[in-house]
């Protein structure tokens, strides 16, 4: 396919408000096919446009291109094994914040990790490790559960949680586990119904739990440590039958599915039907 010039892109954009649906459809498809290459030109044209129809069509097209990028990135992450949880959650973040400065988010995570590492001692016990991480995340950096506005979709976007230092159960657990794993501390997410917790795993030690779980951690409640009986009681209160999946670590794909379901629920509460539809598309990708 021959390379398209800047003037050709600008000419195509001017035709976006054409009343002929066939011409509009052709122009739309051509610009959509250019992907990121067209976005800068589209945004410049939007700021110069006076016609509300043209502005709306430009904004819609930019969103279509950016949403397609998120779908492509999420599919690639999932199909390649979903090994990097941070990459997965950054991809979801770009759904709402397509211009996200990923390096800034990575640097923020690295800064918290560095604060833990600088005060860590090699011979510390699992309990020591958790106390230290708790001190850094909750005391030094001031993270806490967003109890006042728990349904806010911003609680599920990592960049916003790192800025506000407030999040929901799963976003705080994601930050906690990513930092722990970067320091080779085996803390992983556990997919409880109506809650999300963490488990400290050590298969080399004898434990009353299955799967090498030494104990559990509630990232939403300042890193509170608790045991299997507490999980038993929680499930009993919910009237849910105990199942292996509620006691052992889940996959990174499970975590991303949970984040997407939280976002779908949050936007349903806000009546944002377009976002609910799009997030269900993203969820379908990681359910295949």
Domain boundaries, the chain: 6-79, 85-285
Q: Which of 93-97, 128-132, 208-212 has the lowest mean pLDDT?
A: 208-212
Structure token digits, residue 46: 């939007």
pLDDT at 10: 83
More confident residue, 1 or 262: 262
SS3 at position 89: helix
pLDDT at 6: 87
Q: Is the pLDDT of residue 207 over 60?
A: no
pLDDT at 35: 86
More confident residue, 271 or 18: 271
Strand pairing class (187-190; 197-201): antiparallel
Q: How far is CA 147 from the centre of its chain?
A: 19
Q: What is the mean pLDDT of residues 139-165?
A: 95
Q: Is the pLDDT of residue 25 over 90?
A: no
pLDDT at 128: 93
pLDDT at 238: 93
Q: Is the pLDDT of residue 160 over 60?
A: yes
- DSSP string spanning 206-245? --SSGGGEEEEEEGGGTTEEE-HHHHHHHHHHHT----GG
- The 10 Å CB-count burial string (b at 16+, else e) for 245-281 is ebbbbbebbbbbbbbbebbbebbeeeebeebbebbee
pLDDT at 50: 78
What pLDDT, in 10s, does the model give residues 59-105? 999 999 999 999 999 999 999 999 999 999 999 999 999 999 999 99
pLDDT at 2: 55
Secondary element (H or E) of residue 5: none
- Are the beta carbons of 260 and 91 closer than 8 angstroms? no
Q: At what angle do helices 21-34 and 36-48 cross, to 10 degrees?
A: 130
pLDDT at 17: 78
pLDDT at 122: 66
- Which residues, at least 6 apart from 231, have a Cβ–Cβ distance to it below 8 Å? 192, 197, 216, 246, 247
pLDDT at 139: 97
Nearest residue to 277 (alpha-carbon basis) of 89, 63, 130:
63
Share above pLDDT 70 across residues of the chain, in percent, rounded to a whole number: 96
pLDDT at 43: 85
Q: Is the pLDDT of residue 206 over 80?
A: no
**How does residue 1 score in pLDDT terms, banded at 50, 70 and 90?**
very low
Q: Is the pLDDT of residue 197 over 50?
A: yes
Task: Find residue 213's DSSP bridge partners.
Answer: 201
What pLDDT, in 10s, does the model give residues 34-55? 888 888 888 888 788 878 888 8
Euclidean distance between CA atoms 63 and 149, whole angstroms? 27
Euclidean distance between CA atoms 84 and 13, whole angstroms? 38
State the chain's mean pLDDT as an integer: 92
CA triple 236-241-245, angle to 5 deg: 110
Q: What is the mean pLDDT of residues 235-247?
A: 93
**How does residue 176 score in pLDDT terms, banded at 50, 70 and 90?**
very high
SS3 at position 184: coil
């Amino acid at each position: 396919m021959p390379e398209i010039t800047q003037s050709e892109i600008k000419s195509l954009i001017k035709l976006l408000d054409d009343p002929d649906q066939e011409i509009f459809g052709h122009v739309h498809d051509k610009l959509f096919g250019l992907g990121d290459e067209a976005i800068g030109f589209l945004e410049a044209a939007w700021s110069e446009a006076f016609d509300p129809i043209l502005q709306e069509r430009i904004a819609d097209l930019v969103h279509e291109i950016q949403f397609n990028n998120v779908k492509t990135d999420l599919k690639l992450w999932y199909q390649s094994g979903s090994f990097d949880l941070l990459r997965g959650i950054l991809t979801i973040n770009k759904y709402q914040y397509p211009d996200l400065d990923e390096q800034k988010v990575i640097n923020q995570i690295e800064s918290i990790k560095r604060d833990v590492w600088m005060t860590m001692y090699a011979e510390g016990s699992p309990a020591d490790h958790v106390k230290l991480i708790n001190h850094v995340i909750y005391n030094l950096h001031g993270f806490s559960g967003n109890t006042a506005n728990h349904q806010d979709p911003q609680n599920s976007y990592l960049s916003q949680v790192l800025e506000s230092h407030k999040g929901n159960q799963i976003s705080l657990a994601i930050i906690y586990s990513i930092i722990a794993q970067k320091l080779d501390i085996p803390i992983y997410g556990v997919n409880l119904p109506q809650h999300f917790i963490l488990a400290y795993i050590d298969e080399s030690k004898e434990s009353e739990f299955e799967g090498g779980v030494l104990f559990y951690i509630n990232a939403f409640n300042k890193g509170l440590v608790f045991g299997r009986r507490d999980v038993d009681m929680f499930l009993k209160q919910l009237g849910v039958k105990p199942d292996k999946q509620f006691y052992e670590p889940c996959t990174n794909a499970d975590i991303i599915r949970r984040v997407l379901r939280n976002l779908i629920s949050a936007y349903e509460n806000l009546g944002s039907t377009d976002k609910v539809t799009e997030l269900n598309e993203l969820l379908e990708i990681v359910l295949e």
